[in-house]
Structures are given as C-alpha cells and as structure tokens.
Structure 1
Amino acid sequence: MTLLLLATPFNASHAALSLNSTRLVFVSDKTSASTVVRNPSKQTYAVQAWVNTAEDMATIPVPFIASPHLFRLGPGDDQQLQINALPNTLPTDRESLFYLNVQEIPQTDKDADNVLNIALRTRIKLFYRPHQITGSLTRQINELKFSFNNNNGQAELLVENPTPFHITFRRLEVNGKGQHYTLKSADMLLPLSTQAYPLTGIKPATDLQAQFTVINDFGGNTEPVKAPVSMAR
C-alpha cells in the first residue's frame, strides 16, 4: 500500500524544489509576472501551482491563474512559472496580497509497499501593485510613524503605515534611556493602517527610538532606518 499525504506546507528550505524568488510583485499594468521553479534533486516530481489568499482556502476566488498549473519536472530541470491576471476590481490606491503555492508530488514506486510519499508545498507572497501607486517601497518606509502606547497596563508600539505598500519587518527594535527591546516575528504591516506590537520591559520615555529594516521587493534587506517614538495621546 502506498500512501500519499497532500498539501503539507513547508518552509522552502525543506522542500526538494526551489523558486528563484521569495516574493513576487505583480504591477497592474503588466499582463503577467513570473518565477522559475527548479529541481536540484535526483528525483522526478509532478508539480502543481496555484494562487490563493492568506486564508489558504480553495473556495475563495482569486483573479490570477498560474501557467502551467500542473507539470512534470525531472532531475536538474527548471520550469518558468507564469502568473496571469484576470479582470478584477482590486483597490487602485494600495497593494493587495495573495500567495503563490508550488506543491511538489514525488512519483510513486509501483513496486514499493507501505511507502509514505509526502507532497510538500512552498508558499510565497504575491503582491498585486496598482500602477497608479507612485514612489517605491524602499523610499517610503521613512514615512512610518512610531508611538508608545499604554493599553490597559500593556506597553505597546503603535506603527502607522501611511503608504500603499505592505511592510514586512526583517528587524524592529526600540531603544532609549538604557532600555532595549527587539520585537521578534513582527506581523506584516498592512497598507494605510496602524498595527500595535507588544513591548516587554519598555517604559515611556522622551528619547525612545525605533530602528528597523524591512524586506524589499527582491527579498533582500533595506538599510537600517531610525525614527523617533512619540508618546501616543
């Protein structure tokens, strides 16, 4: 008996297949965006690709189609994967977030019994960026505003994002008056929104400062940026 466990999400570092990008930016005046799927292993895989939302549910329709959506990838081979957009009514004043899924399904050995084959899945962020947006992510991160807030006795850092871009912090820390706190795994900051991040061991002070780096369009890090932390009203 051969068993197959489907749709097991894994970090790309655990998967046999690899993508040549860790995120995709789809500019709305383009017809498509693409990435390359590579198979550096010695095994042949069937590959399935699709786009969905953060909820990771197949029942939610999305205005994107992956092409090819199903293909075979032999040892050492690669395949260009194209994401095509369908007509849509997505916002034009901010980015919209989707996810590209690439699932690898190893070929089964007909002569092997009691073998468990696991289909690993890699997910990367797909940002749909309206062409009406001006400026760039790396230039507009200086517009982020930071403030210290006391929420029923819990200190928190409020970060206001007035930009149309999703902001993913690679590093975010608060310093001042001999205090230091590094926020670990800070949630992604949505466009035109304010996010509260808990601060542990930080007390209000007049010289608090935030220092941060964010992930750019290519998966790299921006240069560190420093910004004052004001006291929330």
Structure 2
Amino acid sequence: MPRPNSIIPRLALAIGTSLALLIQLSAHAALTISSTRVIQPSDRQSTSIVVANPSQRPYAAQAWINTEADDNTTAVPLIASPALFRIDPAGEQTVQLNRLPNNLPQDRESVFYFNLQEIPQADDKPTNTLTIALRTRIKVFYRPTQLKGRPQDHLQDLAWSVQTLEGKPHLVVDNPSPYYFTFNQLTLRSAKGSEKIDGRKMAIPMGRQTYPLKTSTVQDGLKVDFTTINDYGGLTPELSRPVERP
C-alpha cells in the first residue's frame, strides 16, 4: 500500500500535467510594427509608424514613448498619437510620433523608445487558452538636422581597446561621432581563437561603452569584427578593426 506522503507529490504532478495540457500559452506578439527603428529629424514635426494586426481576432493597443531605462516619469520630447486604439483583424493603424518643445543636445543624437502594448479583446466563447499581452519596444533616434553625412561613414572612427576594469578584462569602444551604433555582430579575434561578445549595449555618441570578456586577452594582433544596424533596419558591411591592449 502506498505511503500517504508519497501520494501527495504524485497527485500534484498529475494535476500540474493536466493543467499544462488544458492551457495553451500564447507568447508571441500578434501586432506588427512597420519598422524596427525610427529616425526623428529635429526639424520634422512628426513621423509615423504603421501598426498592423495580421491575426484573426481584434486587439486594442496602447502606445507611448519613454526612456532607454524604461522610465515613464522622465519627460520625453515625443508623444504617440493615438495613445490607445483598436485594430480589427487584418486592419492597420497609423501612429504619429509628434515632436514636443525640448532642449536636447544639438551636437549628437538622443535615443528614446516607442512602446506598443497589446490588449487582447475578450472572447465570448469559453476557452482554455491563456493569452499573454506582450509589449514591443523599438528605438527612436532623435537626430539634429545639423548632423551631416551618414552614420555608417563614421564606423571607421570607432577606437577599440582591451582594458582591465574592476579587475576583469573588457572590450572598450570609444565613439567620437555624434551617432549611436547598434551592433548586430561583435567578435573579438586573436591568433588563439575568437570570442563572440554580447553587443546589445550601443556605442554611445561622443562617449565610451564597455563589454565584459570571458577570457583574458593580452596577446598581440587583436582585432574586432563587427556589423551594425543601419537606419532602415538592414546591416552594414562587416568591418575589421585593430584592438589596442595595455
């Protein structure tokens, strides 16, 4: 005869398995955005984003703009309109990003984020589906009109080095240009091998960005291979640049 204390875990497992079979978890975004990034020139009153609903159910959506730190209390120079809307199946909604008075730097880009929060509509039919309302974020680059040329023309100006910070090796990039750079691929290479680096942190304009390394690299002949994402969401040609070391 099974012991009472052995029945409880098996019963809990059976209940959990049954619930898992009954509940279908939907964790993919239903709404799509027309671009992966937005460039907002400082002399343009507004830019637009098209939100589409390719699904077979209606959705409400909330749109807003905030900071890179996902801070909704800091004032931002753009406002999304409409901020709340409904999209029917196969429908679209144009969202305007309207410029507000601001005192942002005019010698470099500033970055903000457009947020789109899905709000699924209630279904009259009973269902065992658990739907997760997802939020999508894309970068919005506020670009002063006095900045001339293309951002990718400044990629050769990035200065790379390996430095020890707080006792650990880091790849360091100094960006003298007025543009942000988002890395799609970032690899440190040496005669002994290579290390792919998490390059989600952007190279900031007229500033420094650091990337922790898994291994210590003190040998000569270091170089970094990288591609970046351009204004249209495409990739720039791969570049290979020398890396200085202490």
C-alpha spacing 1:108/1:192, structure 2 compared with 1 (3 Å): same
C-alpha spacing 1:141/1:82, structure 2 compared with 1 (3 Å): same
Deviation at 1:109, TM superposition (A): 3.1
Residue 41 of structure 1 corresponds to which residue in structure 2?
A: 55
Residue 104 of structure 1 corresponds to which residue in structure 2?
A: 118
Q: If each structure's helix is expressed as a fraction of its own residues, which one has the higher value?
A: 2
Deviation at 1:87, TM superposition (A): 0.8
SS at match of 2:133: strand
**Cα distance between partner residues in 1 of 2:54 and 2:135:** 16
Residue 123 of structure 1 corresponds to which residue in structure 2?
A: 137
After superposition, what is the alpha-carbon deviation per residue over 1:75-115, rounded to whole angstroms, capped at 9, x for unaligned?
10111111010111011111111110111211113565998
**1:215 partner amino acid:** I
C-alpha spacing 1:48/1:152, structure 2 compared with 1 (3 Å): closer
C-alpha spacing 1:199/1:120, structure 2 compared with 1 (3 Å): closer
Q: Is the 8 A contact 1:179 1:202 kept in 2?
A: no
C-alpha spacing 1:43/1:143, structure 2 compared with 1 (3 Å): same
C-alpha spacing 1:43/1:151, structure 2 compared with 1 (3 Å): same
C-alpha spacing 1:180/1:46, structure 2 compared with 1 (3 Å): same
SS at match of 1:14: coil
Deviation at 1:39, TM superposition (A): 0.4
Residue 151 of structure 1 corresponds to which residue in structure 2?
A: 165
**2:62 partner amino acid:** Q
Indicate the percent of aligned positions where both proteins have the same amino acid.
Answer: 45
Deviation at 1:117, TM superposition (A): 5.2
Deviation at 1:176, TM superposition (A): 2.0
Residue 84 of structure 1 corresponds to which residue in structure 2?
A: 98
Residue 24 of structure 1 corresponds to which residue in structure 2?
A: 38
C-alpha spacing 1:99/1:152, structure 2 compared with 1 (3 Å): closer
Residue 3 of structure 1 corresponds to which residue in structure 2?
A: none
Unaligned runs of 5+ in 2: 1-26
Q: Is the 8 A contact 2:65 2:76 kept in 1?
A: yes
Deviation at 1:204, TM superposition (A): 1.6
Q: Looking at CA atoms only, which structure, 1 or 2, has the larger radius of gyration?
A: 2
Deviation at 1:206, TM superposition (A): 2.6
C-alpha spacing 1:83/1:175, structure 2 compared with 1 (3 Å): same
Residue 12 of structure 2 corresponds to which residue in structure 1?
A: none
TM-score if structure 2 supplies the norm length? 0.83
Q: If each structure's strand is expressed as a fraction of its own residues, which one has the higher value?
A: 1
Residue 219 of structure 1 corresponds to which residue in structure 2?
A: 233
TM-score if structure 1 supplies the norm length? 0.87
Higher relative contact order (CA 8 A, sep 6+): 1
Q: Is the 8 A contact 1:186 1:197 kept in 2?
A: no
Q: How many residues align?
A: 220
Alignment pair present for 1:132 and 2:134: no
